Amino acid sequence: MTLPVRRSGIDPAFIVILAGVSAALHVGKLPAALPALRAAMDISLLQAGFLMSLVQLAGMTLGLASGLAADSLGLRRSMGAGLLILAVAGALGGLAHDATSLLCLRAVEGFGVLLATMPAPSLIRRLVQPARLASMLGLWGAYMPLGTSLALLAGPLVIAVASWQIWWWLIAVLSLAMAIWLQTVPPDEPFRARRARAASEDDVSPWRTRLKLTLSSRGPWLVALTFAMYSGQWLAVVGFLPSIYAQAGLSGAATGVLTAVAAAVNMIGNITAGRLLQRGYEPSSLLTAGFVAMTVGTVVAFAWTGSLTIPPSLRYLAVLMFSMVGGMIPGTLFSLAVRLAPSERTVSTTVGWMQQCSAVGQFAGPPLVAWVATRVGGWEWTWVVTGACSACGIFLAAKLRQMMRSH
């Protein structure tokens, strides 16, 4: 069911996307601040990896449950609550004086990110006409790279002028403002009205039924596992770029710009995926192209042997290819999650399961890459981790192709 939308002012679907960008700022605010945090709190590289990934703890454990709750209680209400949690946790994070406190608050922020983003695809589906759905979901897939790139670009400047604490508080205020703005979006059908309508149609779907239906269907599993193979390696590579470039002697402003651009070009892939899907391109082909590009990009960017010297400019171009072409993967998967949900009543549950598996990938990816870098004394074996993820992703894309052709 598509809700009627206003014909004047900002498209409500765009407000939903901006709410996701606001939540993504909380994920992207950390990499830009890592050099300052490591100096202020004596944080090790491995601790930094967990700081980066702990924001995914809630998604890793509660993604499916949150999807079930949003399907029952309301999509806009869930997003607003998530933004408020982010505002409070971010404000308290600016008061932290040790790594332990910051780690705990990052976990709370992860819960806020989950609530603020997981219901969005289902809400967008209700707000736009079917002809616009693929392109709008491709645009939604860009919420994370857009928020991350904005944070990476603005973070070093704010930290240099003020402090990392001010940086935390500014993003908290922005989340609060976004929670207020989100209230202008037409609400999805209230829980009681939906329950009454379902009862009159003799079509009540309790949460156990939706849970069983989602987890017993092949599509949600394939989409979720594919997202995990993408998200872990993308966050690990882009998240550690500021630290890698800082070790190479670049200034904070330069590392922020370079990393922000690397994150921003991911949006090109997301938006392109939506356009190509709308024109009839096969989703599995877009997924395979994305994973191949990510593998080649990390090999060129990080791997080298004794006599092989790759210019820094070429390595950076490889990082851009990794992020840009790889961006077709989330843009494709968000569209597939809506299409492959077992029923209309399980869209948020399916997206929640996808987010949960994605969070597992993002939780494991940065610490794994940091562990490998610590063991070998450098970043040259990063491509082994990302290459293994891409190989699994290509295998899953083939399974998705088989499943969709058999239906």
pLDDT digits (tens, 9 = 90+) for 39-83: 777 777 677 777 776 776 777 777 777 777 776 667 888 899 999
pLDDT of residue 16: 93
Helix, strand, coil content of the chain in percent (nearest 5) = 80, 0, 20
In whole angstroms, give the CA distance from residue 55 to residue 52.
7
- Cα torsion angle, 296, 301, 307, 313, sign: positive
Q: Tokens 């998200």 belong to which residue?
A: 231
Least confident of 155-164, 243-252, 273-282, 354-363: 243-252
The contacts of residue 247 (CB under 8 Å, 6+ apart) are: none
Rg of the chain on CA atoms, in Å: 20
Cα dihedral 107/392/223/179 (nearest 10): 30
- Predicted confidence (pLDDT) at residue 191 exceeds the cutoff of 60: no
**Which pLDDT band holds residue 289 (cuts at 50, 70, 90)?**
very high
Residue 203 has pLDDT above 50, yes or no: no
Most confident of 58-62, 323-327, 401-405: 323-327
Please give the residue that has the higher pLDDT: either 377 or 146: 146
Q: Is the CB of residue 105 less than 8 Å from the CB of residue 55?
A: no
User: pLDDT tens digits for 223-282?
Assistant: 999 999 998 898 888 877 777 777 666 766 677 788 888 888 988 998 898 889 888 889
Please give the structure tokens belonging to residue 5.
Answer: 């939308």
pLDDT digits (tens, 9 = 90+) for 126-149: 888 877 887 788 788 788 878 888
Give the mean pLDDT of the chain: 82
Residues near 163 by Cβ (< 8 Å), separated by ≥ 6?
A: 36
CA distance 184 to 126: 15
**What H or E segment, with its residue span, contains residue 141?**
none
Domains, the chain, ranges and CATH?
A: 12-185+205-406 (1.20.1250.20)
Is the pTM value of this prediction over 0.85? no
Q: Do the beta carbons of residue 243 and residue 372 sit within 8 Å?
A: no
pLDDT for res 72: 67
Give the pLDDT of residue 349.
Answer: 79
DSSP class per residue in 216-256: T-HHHHHHHHHHHHHHHHHHHHHHHHHHHHHHTT--HHHHH
Spatial CA neighbour of 63 closest among 78, 50, 45: 78
Which residues lie below 8 Å from residue 275, measured CB to CB, with a gap of 6+? 135, 138
Is the pLDDT at 394 greater than 70, yes or no?
yes
- Tell me how many helices (H) and strands (E) the chain has: 19, 0
Distance of CA 91 to the CA centre of its chain: 22
Residue 306 has pLDDT above 60, yes or no: no
User: Can you tell me the mean pLDDT for 164-173?
Assistant: 92
Percent of the chain with pLDDT over 90: 23
pLDDT mean over 109-137? 84
